[in-house]
């Protein structure tokens, strides 16, 4: 019987596979910059929660996006409008979450940056 620990092991395998994705690595790099900025400005606990939630949302959706890309490629290597649509919809979800993360990032960091400019 498959144990919970085995399931966790498979999930970590999936996480390792996500690192092969260029976009995932770029998003991870950007998230690291945001983390560094958070430490630099000593943001509040609530602000950390907002930023970490957004990072998790973007990275998770990128993993789902990659997963769907792989699934589509497994189902068909031929050009098909529906295959393209599935990939575009998944990529659209990443764009929505990334846009939200950028807006939230500006809302969190702008007061610190503005104070520094004064
Ligand atoms: N089988 C297909 N049929 C029709 N259109 C496709 C198909 N595969 C990909 N496309 C179109 O090409 C776009 C790019 O597809 P691709 O698989 O290269 O994804 P990508 O976003 O470039 O992935 P990556 O994250 O690896 O850079 C898709 O978003 C879709 O519009």
Nearest CA owner, ligand 1 atom 6: 84
Task: Give which of 10, 62, 67 is closest to 31, Cα–Cα.
Answer: 62
User: What are the boundaries of each domain within the chain?
Assistant: 4-117
32-83 pLDDT tens trace: 999 999 999 999 999 999 999 999 999 999 999 999 999 999 999 999 999 9
Give the count of beta carbons closer than 10 Å to the beta carbon of residue 67: 14
Task: Say yes or no: CB of residue 83 within 6 Å of ligand 1.
Answer: yes
CATH topology classification for 4-117 = Helix Hairpins (1.10.287)
pLDDT per residue as tens digits for the range 86-108: 999 999 999 999 999 999 999 99
CA 69 to ligand 1: nearest atom: 17
Q: Tokens at residue 39, please?
A: 């430490």
CA 46 to CA 43: how far, in whole Å? 8
Give me the interface pTM, i.e. the ipTM: 0.89
Determine if ligand 1 sits within 6 Å of the CB of residue 84.
yes
Tokens of 9: 């092991």
pLDDT digit string (tens) for 7-41?
999 999 999 999 999 999 999 999 999 999 999 99
């Amino acid at each position: 019987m498959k144990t919970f620990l085995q399931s966790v092991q498979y999930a970590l395998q999936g996480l390792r596979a996500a690192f092969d994705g260029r976009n995932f690595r770029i998003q991870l790099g950007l998230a690291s910059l945001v983390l560094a900025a958070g430490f630099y400005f000593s943001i509040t606990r609530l602000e950390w929660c907002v930023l970490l939630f957004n990072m998790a949302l973007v990275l998770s959706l990128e993993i789902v996006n990659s997963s769907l890309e792989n699934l589509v490629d497994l189902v068909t290597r031929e050009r098909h409008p529906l295959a393209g649509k599935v990939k575009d919809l998944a990529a659209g979800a990443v764009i929505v979450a990334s846009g939200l993360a950028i807006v939230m990032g500006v809302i969190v960091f702008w007061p610190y940056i503005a104070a520094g400019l004064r």
